[in-house]
Structure 1
């Protein structure tokens, strides 16, 4: 048996040691070189380079380049499987040249966050300095996943990345409107695309008015929340989606003032909408004046009408309610599960929207109540799904279980003929009414539907 002072870690095979080091940032991996002679150059054989400009003292850009050069010179035949570089808030002159060389090494995963700066030009305006990714990226035959942030994409010309399955583009600057389409179309097995448009008018040109996502293999497409309430731009942009195999689509923010679905998405399983169909913050369209916007919404809803599971936010509900006054919401005949957030003042729109979901089985409803409610509401219309398919309803974020909240629960209990389970999810916020008092009131509602299982859930909503 080895003695208690034996270095068992250093006795492990090199392949296992480099695998362990691959889970560390490169800065930490390099530090292991001082442990012993065995460890001196071990970090150079790690198949992962994870480097951030923030790992180096301010002004030490040359140190970053020296680390790259050391890696490139150590073993020209070694293959780097994963490359992650974050330039931080500074330009590192010559870094893209090193990345170009590393791309030739055949990485499978590439994650580059570049640097965008603004410089004065004739004291009249600012123009952006953009770091463009190497052109050899567009013909990589080994990349499986690609993430670019604040990087530039020149006219890629010929694009062919035969193994790329996942691509994330965060505030990427394209030379022209066709660059995104070329990039996506050149990836024949691409399954997942995440896209965040740059909303800064200092960077986005006024002629950047069109972005097309065209792919025959794409299954998941996301536009995630990033800018929050400040999501706005003076540059209008249309997003066109031509992806007939799409199964999941998340449009989580108003990056685009116009969204066009080129072909009906018949394979769509889940759609998550947090948009109001215009990009300007705080503004909804005028249904009486904007014919083009009405047509756009109509075509979009028709394009996603085959979806099985839908999630819609409060602002999307508001946009649909406005549209319903001048246009017909299509039937979602395949929709079996709906998650929706309704402001209290729009509850009158709930039955009309549910009428468009004739085969709905599961409904998760969150209602925002207001203390300054002017008019009492009445839910009287009974959608078709109440009579034949709606089996499970969950009412989320119930607080005090007041009259308005009881009224919504009662509406389902009295009218949903095949309802099997109603879940009442209470918040954990401090309340003036005790749990015992709420349970007593819930039991009064239970008596209205003795065949339906009612489950008070105290812990679901934090």
Structure 2
């Protein structure tokens, strides 16, 4: 049988040679093949070993380990470790199911143990990037987090937790968990309905002296009298969705900030003198903060969300008043707006914002998904738009519009052209 297989392979190579064809992919160096396989899930990478003898051991040197949570089984992991040997691993990616599965306790505890084993293997083999997506962490103890957060060589960590609702998952104020993340530059924590304790967050941030990018999606558990504090000396990018009602940010190098508040803000203090780019949702909740943004060059705003589509006129007027009370942003060069164009007030607010941006160079309008535009409502907007007066937009160079209705696009461009002195020099893309 082996002789037959060997003869078939030789015959195939002979055919390729006679036709002037070569297997260029197999002729690539091992390092390049390993890099190519690093973009595949690990099981798919392993399957390439059956292609030919040339491919038999290539997968063992792939620096990326990528498994689904449901694929982890003791026998499979044992064979995987034995085959890889002491090869280093630069990245570990473990992902759970995209839906909520009802695992029994024994199954979940077994898989959580295997997760710990895989994380320990990656840590001992110099992995610098770890991604843990869509995990049910019911049965992981402080030992796992001590293993994960005591990792000096780690450069990026992306963790998404599902399940465990209404539980303060990250509360290490009285635990033995050690925090040593001296090389961590990127941290993303999505905890779903779970909360992170303010003292635990402070410990975590203090253990990351070179952290540059922080994304937090979680509830915040704190003492009633004190705000959540974000203090990181080298932080460049910060995303907080949702934003806690009491928040204090002290980041001297912060350049990008994204905030979305689902509740009234009772305390907001931001010390970020290097801030140049801001993304805001529910802008009326940040009215006082926006008035301090004198030096930003880029602003992205979601003008409205689903809750506004059925709001009362009184609330909409309050929303518009918040925008009309903004200062003049003399340094603002790029404005990105996401809106429901079916509401005429959204288009009104766009022009209210443009009044605040005399040096604007780039305008991006994106339409939110919504029911079809009400023609009668838009007719009223067109009639009132002629009385609108704006300061000339002398520096506008680019307009990008992702709006389905050609009528709305045309009407908006026509109205905007009244405030642009050199309209022929503006590049418009739709």
Change beyond 3 A, Cα 1:40–1:207: farther
Deviation at 1:310, TM superposition (A): 1.6
Q: Distance in 1 between matches of 2:353 and 2:196?
A: 42
Q: Distance in 2 between matches of 1:365 and 1:39?
A: 50
Over aligned residues, Cα RMSD in angstroms? 4.3
Alignment partner of 1:159 is 2:204: no
Deviation at 1:312, TM superposition (A): 1.7
Change beyond 3 A, Cα 1:137–1:321: farther
> In the alignment, is the contact (CA less than 8 A) between 1:197 and 1:255 conserved in 2?
no
> In the alignment, is the contact (CA less than 8 A) between 2:398 and 2:426 conserved in 1?
no
Partner of 2:18: none
Change beyond 3 A, Cα 1:74–1:256: farther
Q: Distance in 2 between matches of 1:50 and 1:355?
A: 50
Partner of 1:435: none
Partner of 1:322: 318
> In the alignment, is the contact (CA less than 8 A) between 1:391 and 1:419 conserved in 2?
no
Partner of 2:265: 258
Q: Distance in 2 between matches of 1:303 and 1:130?
A: 43
Partner of 1:178: 199
Alignment partner of 1:249 is 2:257: yes
Deviation at 1:28, TM superposition (A): 1.7
The size of the alignment, in residue pairs, is 372
Change beyond 3 A, Cα 1:170–1:140: same
> In the alignment, is the contact (CA less than 8 A) between 2:397 and 2:426 conserved in 1?
no
Please list the CA deviations of residues 55-101 of structure 1 after superposition, one character each: whole Å capped at 9, or x if unmatched: x4xxxx5xx23333344455664322111112434521412431234
Deviation at 1:144, TM superposition (A): 1.9
Change beyond 3 A, Cα 1:28–1:365: closer
Residue from 75, 78, 83 that aligns with 1:66: 75
Q: Distance in 2 between matches of 1:392 and 1:43?
A: 47
Question: What secondary structure sits across from 1:377 in the alignment?
Answer: helix
Change beyond 3 A, Cα 1:141–1:236: closer
Please list the CA deviations of residues 26-68 of structure 1 after superposition, one character each: whole Å capped at 9, or x if unmatched: 11223344556776555444322111134x4xxxx5xx23333
Alignment partner of 1:85 is 2:94: yes
> In the alignment, is the contact (CA less than 8 A) between 2:396 and 2:426 conserved in 1?
no
Q: Distance in 2 between matches of 1:26 and 1:174?
A: 33
Q: Distance in 2 between matches of 1:81 and 1:254?
A: 36
> In the alignment, is the contact (CA less than 8 A) between 1:259 and 1:300 conserved in 2?
no
Partner of 2:387: 380
Change beyond 3 A, Cα 1:358–1:413: closer
Partner of 2:7: none
> In the alignment, is the contact (CA less than 8 A) between 2:213 and 2:238 conserved in 1?
yes
Q: Distance in 2 between matches of 1:93 and 1:399?
A: 50
Specify every segment of 5 or more residues in structure 2 that has no aligned partner in the other structure, as ranges: 1-9, 15-21, 163-168, 309-314
Partner of 1:300: 289
Q: Distance in 2 between matches of 1:184 and 1:27?
A: 35
Partner of 1:105: 125
Alignment partner of 1:336 is 2:297: no
Residue from 238, 253, 264 that aligns with 1:221: 238
Partner of 1:371: 375
Residue from 170, 178, 190 that aligns with 2:211: 190
Alignment partner of 1:311 is 2:319: no
Question: What secondary structure sits across from 1:5 in the alignment?
Answer: helix
> In the alignment, is the contact (CA less than 8 A) between 2:358 and 2:393 conserved in 1?
no
* 1:335-414 map, 5 Å: 335-340=332-337, 341=339, 343-365=343-365, 370-373=374-377, 375=380, 376-380=383-387, 382-384=389-391, 386=392, 389-390=395-396, 397=403, 399-401=405-407, 406=411, 408-414=412-418
Deviation at 1:219, TM superposition (A): 1.9
> In the alignment, is the contact (CA less than 8 A) between 2:255 and 2:275 conserved in 1?
yes
Partner of 1:420: 422
- Larger helix proportion, structure 1 or 2? 2
- What TM-score, normalized by structure 2, do the two folds share? 0.68
Q: Distance in 2 between matches of 1:13 and 1:345?
A: 60
Partner of 1:138: 149
- What TM-score, normalized by structure 1, do the two folds share? 0.64
Please list the CA deviations of residues 317-353 of structure 1 after superposition, one character each: whole Å capped at 9, or x if unmatched: 9789625647942332211222334631354445543
Q: Distance in 2 between matches of 1:176 and 1:257?
A: 20
Specify every segment of 5 or more residues in structure 1 that has no aligned partner in the other structure, as ranges: 118-127, 199-203, 225-230, 278-292, 422-451
Deviation at 1:189, TM superposition (A): 2.2
More displaced stretch, 154-163 vs 8-17: 8-17
Q: Distance in 2 between matches of 1:348 and 1:12?
A: 59
Question: What secondary structure sits across from 1:164 in the alignment?
Answer: coil
Question: What secondary structure sits across from 2:376 in the alignment?
Answer: coil
> In the alignment, is the contact (CA less than 8 A) between 2:304 and 2:346 conserved in 1?
no
Deviation at 1:15, TM superposition (A): 4.2
